[in-house]
Amino acid sequence: MPVKRISPFVWALVATLLVVAGGVSPVVVAADGVEVRAVDHTGSGVVATENGRTYVASWRPSTVSVAVAADGGDYEVCLRTDLDDGSTMQLGCEPLGAGANATGDQRVDFEFETWPANATGDRTVTAVVRPGGGEPVAQASHGVTVLAPAGDADGDGLGNRDELDRGTDVLVADTDTDGVPDGEEVNRYETDPTSTDTDGDDLSDGVEINEQGATRPRRTPTATASTTVRR
Ligand SMILES: [Ca+2]
Ligand SMILES: [Ca+2]
Ligand SMILES: [Ca+2]
């Protein structure tokens, strides 16, 4: 029975696919049976998670939770973040679980009362696992956007801290979708940015402001009253 030859081109294609497949998860490095399974942000400081990205309010408490699989041994987990100038800021180190006797999945929590003020913006937070004094054996990163209190992530004219205090969406310019941005509702028209109809007259704030020349959306009498003949 003739043996079908496989062309060099096919071998090259297979090799390429293997390389590509092997590069799918470049952030996790496993050695010595140690693997970082997850790096998660939790706590009241987490204000949103969108498209796999976590948004954290720097002035609120948050916790970076690192899940590590290890088969015994003394390890420590260190956390760091990149900074805008390309340098690295160390955020702390914690021992892994119960040391040499610990096996399986363990979690190490790094708790922050507030996030460092000079480390806001789009950050890559990296957890590194080392044996005592040794070289790293595993690491993983996750992307986080840390919001500064005075910043304006959605560019709606209302600061990030003000948004959270008022219950508006820090990532959406027009929280109540009435056609008037949060900042204009609060600072210009003094309407409720979480209500489409602040004065309850069945005309939305957006209609009153945008189509009727800002006719007092806080206290226009009623929809029918708006047709009252005036003199
Ligand atoms: Ca805003
Ligand atoms: Ca907003
Ligand atoms: Ca609005």
Token couple for 209: 């402001």
C-beta of residue 48 within 8 angstroms of C-beta of residue 97: no
Distance separating alpha carbons of residues 60 and 53, to the nearest angstrom: 18
Range of the domain at 89: 26-147
Q: Are residues 35 and 58 in the same domain?
A: yes
125: number of Cβ within 10 Å = 23
The total domain count for the chain is: 2
State the DSSP H helix or E strand holding residue 163, giving kind and residue range, or none if neither: helix 160-166
Nearest residue to 226 via CA among 212, 44, 218: 212
Q: Quick one: pLDDT at residue 141?
A: 95
Nearest residue to 171 via CA among 145, 133, 195: 145
Pairing of strands 121-131, 75-82: antiparallel
User: How many angstroms is it from 6 CA to the middle of ligand 3?
Assistant: 64
List residues, by chain if needed, whose CB lies under 5 Å from ion ligand 1.
152, 154, 156, 158
User: How many angstroms is it from 153 CA to the middle of ligand 3?
Assistant: 16
Q: Quick one: pLDDT at residue 17?
A: 44
Tell whether 196 is covered by a domain.
yes
pLDDT in tens, 41-96: 999 999 999 888 899 999 999 999 999 998 777 899 999 999 999 999 999 999 98
